[in-house]
Amino acid sequence: MVEKEIGELQAKTLAAIAAARSTEELEPVRVAALGRKGTLAQISKEMGKLSPELRASAGKLLNAAKQALEEAFERRKQEFEQSALRARLEAEWIDLTLPAPGPRLGSLHPITQIQAEIEDLFVSLGFMVLDGPEVETEYHNFDALNMPPDHPARDAQDTFWLTDGHVLRTHTSPVQVRGMERFQPPLRMIAPGRAFRNESVDASHEHTFYQIEGMMIDHDVSVAHLLYFMKTLLAGIFRREVTVRLRPGFFPFVEPGFELDIQCLICGGSGCPVCKQSGWVELLPCGLVNPNVLRISGLDPDRWNGFAFGLGLTRLVMMRYGIDDIRLLQSGDLRFLQQF
C-alpha cells in the first residue's frame, strides 16, 4: 500500500518537474513533494504505524524516491540556469575588435564656409587677408572714409556707440583704412569679419552681420579691372559664369560708385519671384576709391588709385541655401546647424 503511494508520488512529481518552464515554476513542486510538510514527510510520518519488517523495506524505498527526486530537481534547475546564461551571452556580447565610434564631429558654420572659399579665391589672386578690431575709433569707421560729420549712418539710430566715443564697426572698411596706413601700395587686400548695426531684429534684419570688403590700389586702376575681379569672384561663388550690370550708386568712399547686379540665376533673366520679375538681383556695392579716402590715409591720388567693394556674406549664404529667416544664422540651433 505504502509502496504504491511512494511510486505514484515519484511518478507524478517527475512529470511536474519535466513540465515546469522556469525555476519559479519548479519551486512550488519541490516544496509540495520534499518540503517539511510535503507529501514525502507525510508518508514518512505514517510509516510509524507499520510493522518493523514493512517499515524497513518501505523506508528504503522512501529514501530512494527522495534521492531520485532531489537529483531530478537539481538537474532541472541547472538546465534553467544554463539556458538563462546562454540567452544572456547571446544578447550581451560586444565585439571588442570593432573600431571605436570616435568623437562626434561638428561642422563649420555656413558663413564660415563661404568666407573660407572667398578668402582662398582672393589669396589665389594675390590679395592679403586682413583682420582688425570690432571696436573701432570714430576716425577709422567714418572720418577716414570721407563720411561727413552729419552723415546719417553716424546717427545713434544706425550705429552702436560706446560711452567713450568708440563704435562697434558698421562695416569692415576700417580694416582697409588700417591696411593703407600700414602697407605701401601697390596693395591688394580683403577684410572679412563681423559688423554691427543698430537694427530692430526681424526675419531680414540682424544687428550682427558678416561681410568681406576688398580693395586693390595700383597705378591706373579702372572700372574694367573692377569688373574683371568681380566677375571672377562671382563665378567662384556661384560656380558658373554670371552676367553682371552696373547701376550708379552713391557712397562717400567711392567715386564713381556702383550697385552691381547679377542676372537672376533662378530664371536666367526672364523674370521670377526671386528677382521680383526684373531678371536682375542686386548683389554688391562697389566703385573706384574716392581720391579723398586715399589722401586721408597718406596716399597721393595723382600716383595711385584703386577699386573697392563690399560683399554681404549673410545675404549670400541665405541665397545659396534658400534660408528665409536671418535669425537662424545666429541662433545656435543645432537642428539648423547640423544641415551644413
Q: Note the residues at the interface with ligand 2NL (CB under 6 A).
A: 145, 171, 173, 176-177, 211, 213, 215, 251, 253-254, 285-287, 289, 293, 308-310, 312
Tell the smallest beta-carbon distance from residue 286 to ligand 2NL (Å): 5
For ligand 2NL, the closer of residues 142 and 309 by Cβ is 309
C-beta nearest to ligand 2NL: residue: 310
CA 273 to chain centre: 31
Question: What size, in residues, is the chain?
Answer: 340
For ligand 2NL, the closer of residues 38 and 310 by Cβ is 310
Q: Decide: helix, strand or coil at residue 24.
A: helix
CA distance 167 to 140: 10
Tell the smallest beta-carbon distance from residue 235 to ligand 2NL (Å): 20
Tell the smallest beta-carbon distance from residue 215 to ligand 2NL (Å): 6
Q: Decide: helix, strand or coil at residue 310.
A: strand
For ligand 2NL, the closer of residues 27 and 143 by Cβ is 143
Among candidate residues 260, 321, 325, 335, the one with its CA nearest the CA of residue 111: 321
C-alpha cell of residue 75? 538537474
Q: Which amino acid is at 146?
A: N
For ligand 2NL, the closer of residues 230 and 293 by Cβ is 293
Sort strands 244-248 and 167-168 into parallel, antiparallel or unpaired.
unpaired
Tell the smallest beta-carbon distance from residue 134 to ligand 2NL (Å): 15
CA distance 170 to 160: 8
For ligand 2NL, the closer of residues 29 and 217 by Cβ is 217
For ligand 2NL, the closer of residues 69 and 215 by Cβ is 215
Task: Identify the burial level of 119 via C-beta atoms within 10 angstroms of its C-beta, where 0-12 means exposed, 13-18 middle and 19 or more buried.
Answer: middle
The H or E element containing residue 223 is helix 223-238
CA distance 71 to 79: 12
Tell the smallest beta-carbon distance from residue 173 to ligand 2NL (Å): 4
For ligand 2NL, the closer of residues 62 and 215 by Cβ is 215
- Which residues, other chains included, contact 238 with Cβ-Cβ below 8 Å and sequence gap of 6+? 262, 265
Tell the smallest beta-carbon distance from residue 253 to ligand 2NL (Å): 4
Tell the smallest beta-carbon distance from residue 244 to ligand 2NL (Å): 15
Judge contact between 213 and 171, C-beta under 8 A: yes
